[in-house]
Chains A and B, each alone.
Chain A
């Protein structure tokens, strides 16, 4: 029997080995990279964690959030305040930031009465409200002049290790969720919330849980980001660009897949550096164009392209099958009005 059993069972070696090898190789990077490149990889790792966490909500449960900057910012500022006011070790401050962000996400429960584009619009409101509140709450955030953070013990290399740990944990968690009963129910909710309820799935409970979990991990990423830049201000962390960036990373890589957000975050961080340096006025427009092209031609992003290439090479099944499979389903990309097309087999 069946796939049901295999897909609910433990981790197969063919997924675990490449993963361990990749983490191992990345752990050695600080030995060979110059500080600039190491900074960039650290940022990419933080964003990988954020994108993966966004994807639990947007990709698995199919609720596309344009407000995740709120959780990112709350995580960042709570961690920053704790680091400034207490002798708490940085990782604990980041965790506390994540906890605060998770609680905030739970508080966003009313938005989950909405689905699809309506939910997305509500999250724009949520994100912008959070940005304004925290921008004007100068006692807490320093307002437009921001906050400077203490240096993390161990310096940039320690930060790099923590970012790698967070990203690796997020990959493992994505993989686990995709294969768990929890994940199965999220995918059912994404496909048809009423049919899911008719076989006993509580959409409310699952969406609350996944939103809180997603928010918490994005919050932890926000805390790491704050320490990484050692200077933060509300308009950056809470900015609408920030919310869009999580969506973009997942769409570029492949919404609803496990590997997609990882690839998307890497591409996004590199692209962002290049575009921001060369076309500071144009980069948002270019992102928009990219989004349109992906949704039109390859709703599964890089993962979809990889699947096509794999199929063309004539191997029966796509080799990274457990990582980029039917999880994607009708990808329902943002802006496509809940449409989306066929299946990744």
Chain B
């Protein structure tokens, strides 16, 4: 069976450093795939490669077997693969609703429905309906993360690449955001790849987890299995810790 989204031996070099090195990834339809790994493991670079913000040095990205790599970022969005940013990037000169409407313009083109309807729907989904007319600067960090989600959702994606949408907010907000991610999949049928540092969220949300370290995929599997793997413990805690556990 062809996976919905796949990368094949995708690699990116920055000077002498292979930030991502030969990573194979497969995302099934309706799946939530967690991507974890220590800082600098290449997780965000991987997202940039999939979303077309960065061109891969080698390897390719496939959506239902069709090649995505080589397309500019806005074309990847139109194909249905949309990323959010770890450091939220709202358009500060637009209201919350207008921010979402920019995404909805392309969502309407892809999936039909009016821009206004799509905007309202995404705002309501993200719990931002009452903030529609305000500038994004009035939102808390959690609110801006919701905006980032709403704007991406409005584009009618088939695959969302979520870069740390949960990290950095209060525990209560983290739970609410995690619930939103689950609803994206359960109610909207959107497949999700999520980079996340908040382990409880990764463990409960992900169907499968991929672990990256130094640009390589070092483990892959069910969330509970993956964190028991010596290579994973070693990547996070060092060799001694890995030996002590085994």
Contacts and interface: CB of A to CB of B under 8 A. Distances in A.
A is bound by B:
yes
Interface of A: 1-5, 7-8, 181, 184-185, 187-188, 190-192, 194-203, 256, 326-330, 343, 345
Nearest to A204: B72
A4 B105 contact: no
Contact of B119 (A4, A200, A329): A4
A192 B102 CA distance: 12
A7 B85 CA distance: 27
A194 B85 CA distance: 10
A58 B231 CA distance: 53
A2 to B, nearest CB: 4
B66 interface: no
Contacts of B133: 2-3
Interface stretch (B28-36, B73-81, B181-189, B207-215): B73-81
B8 interface: no
B94 A3 contact: no
Given A191-B92, A343-B135, 6 more contacts: A3-B133, A4-B104, A197-B73, A198-B83, A199-B77, A200-B74
B45 interface: no
A257 B51 CA distance: 33
Contact of B132 (A1, A187, A201): A1
A3 B97 contact: yes
B85 A187 contact: no
A256 B93 CA distance: 10
A4 B155 contact: no
B46 interface: no
User: Which of A195, A196, A201, A330 is most buried by chain B, counting CB atoms within 10 A of its CB?
Assistant: A195
Nearest to B53: A194
Contacts of B74: 196-197, 200-203
A200 B103 contact: yes
A194 B137 CA distance: 19
7 contacts: A8-B101, A187-B94, A198-B53, A200-B103, A200-B105, A326-B93, A326-B135
B12 interface: no
Contacts of B10: none
A187 B92 CA distance: 10
Given A188-B94, A191-B93, A330-B93, A2 B102 contact: no
